[in-house]
Amino acid sequence: MTALSTTQDSKYFPHEDAMRVAVHNEILGRPQARMGLPVQIACLVVLNADVDLEAEIRHLALLPGQKDLTATALQTPFLRIQVGPCTLKWERHAEFTAYSVMRALPPSTLLNDPPQQLLSQLLLDDDWLRNIPGRTLGALHLVMLLGDPPSAVTRAAAYDHWFTTGAAVASQMGTPVHSSVVTDFALQEDGFERMLVLAATGMSEGRVGRVAQRLLEIETYRLMALRSLPAAQQLGPWLEEAEQRLVGIHTQINGILNSNQDLLNALARLAADVERAVADHRRSFDASKAYHALVTQRLTELREKPIPGTQTLGEFMHRRLSPAMATVVAAGQRLDALSTRVDHTSALLRTRVEVTLEAQGRVAMNTMASVRLLLQRVQRTLQVLSIAAVTFFVVQLLLHIGHAVQRGGFALELELWVGALVPVALGGIWWLVHRINQRL
């Protein structure tokens, strides 16, 4: 069944939203694989950060019978191609692309058959596999055979030739139990991990496909979740140093030894470093938490039951993966807390600067008021002196006028003349100065 890529307006409902078909077909874009037993699956997971969709499609088009394949013809980033006796499933995600090659094994394949004979060939051209665009993150061989799990007495001997570390984990799956899985999560000499599933006769092809997909996704998402662990571990010493820098700035804010400008410069440098770290790591830390949640979900879907004397996959993940994820989560939380503390410190320092500026403003205003009062006093003193000086010169002028009148033959009491006009001159000069001040 093929999902529609477009639809026509219907007489039964209004015009469609432009996203209706895309949203509707989202859950149909990656159909579940169906496969019979026994089967071999080789899965390669490559990081596609620097690889665009067109580059991957061009590489897929190199396969036999796929020369007309184009990116524009794809409705979803998912493709299943038949290559001879094999089926290749291509699945592109936001950060990685998975290439899974499936091949039916002969019905006579048994657990004690040499695994090298089953896993020696990937069934596709070696050059084509080596030239897949991207960088390899994971490589897994999954073999699913018919058979019951070996007993506790014969288990070690049965798995010895499959897993070389001697530390295999295993569990039964399903309710009721329909299969068991064994792996040691170790890289073999060929660079692949190995995972073995023994399934009961009569297991449906749909269930085989679901079990295979869950197991492949568990390992893929585990690797993706752990990608940010090295960064989280390296970030620890830097966080310690940055926190100490912030403590030092707090200490200086509480003291009086450093100027506000020095503190602002130090805080600006720290804030820039913290924001750069947030930009570099926040997305990867969040992605790791999301991938870890998917691992937990897929393990739950397996409905594991323990095999006596052996760790289950879930127990192994809890003991090995959970501490690593706790480190990632803790680093992310410390980074967020540091960013918040830097913001609070910036607000505190801004408050200090504002208070300092306000105090300086008040001092400046008080100084200006004092200067203004002093200037007013000086001005009044100068006005008095000016009035006195002008009055003196006016009196001298009147005195000269009186002498001139006397010489003209007029009888004039000079002292009386001057004494009578001095108040008039003084009042007139004061009135004139007062009017000038009013106009100013």
**Structure tokens of 111?**
């657990």
Q: Which tens digits make up the pLDDT trace of 407-428?
A: 777 766 767 767 777 787 777 8
Q: Which tens digits make up the pLDDT trace of 352-367?
A: 777 777 777 888 888 8
324 pLDDT more than 50:
yes
152 pLDDT more than 70:
no
Mean pLDDT for the stretch of residues 287-315: 93
1 pLDDT more than 70:
no
331 pLDDT more than 80:
yes
**Which conformational region is residue 65 in: left (phi greater than 0), alpha (psi within -120 to 50 degrees), or beta?**
left
305 pLDDT more than 90:
yes
Predicted pLDDT of residue 347:
81
Predicted pLDDT of residue 95:
95
Specify burial of residue 339 (Cβ count, 10 A radius: 0-12, 13-18, 19+): middle
Least confident of 13-27, 42-56, 319-333, 358-372: 13-27
Q: Where are the domains of the chain?
A: 33-220, 229-365, 374-439
Predicted pLDDT of residue 155:
57
Mean pLDDT for the stretch of residues 205-213: 94
More confident position, 98 or 259 = 98
Mean pLDDT for the stretch of residues 204-210: 93
153 pLDDT more than 50:
no
Mean pLDDT for the stretch of residues 94-102: 95
Question: pLDDT-derived band of residue 209, with 50, 70 and 90 as boundaries?
Answer: very high
4 pLDDT more than 60:
no
What is the CATH architecture assignment of 229-365? Up-down Bundle (1.20)
Predicted pLDDT of residue 29:
64
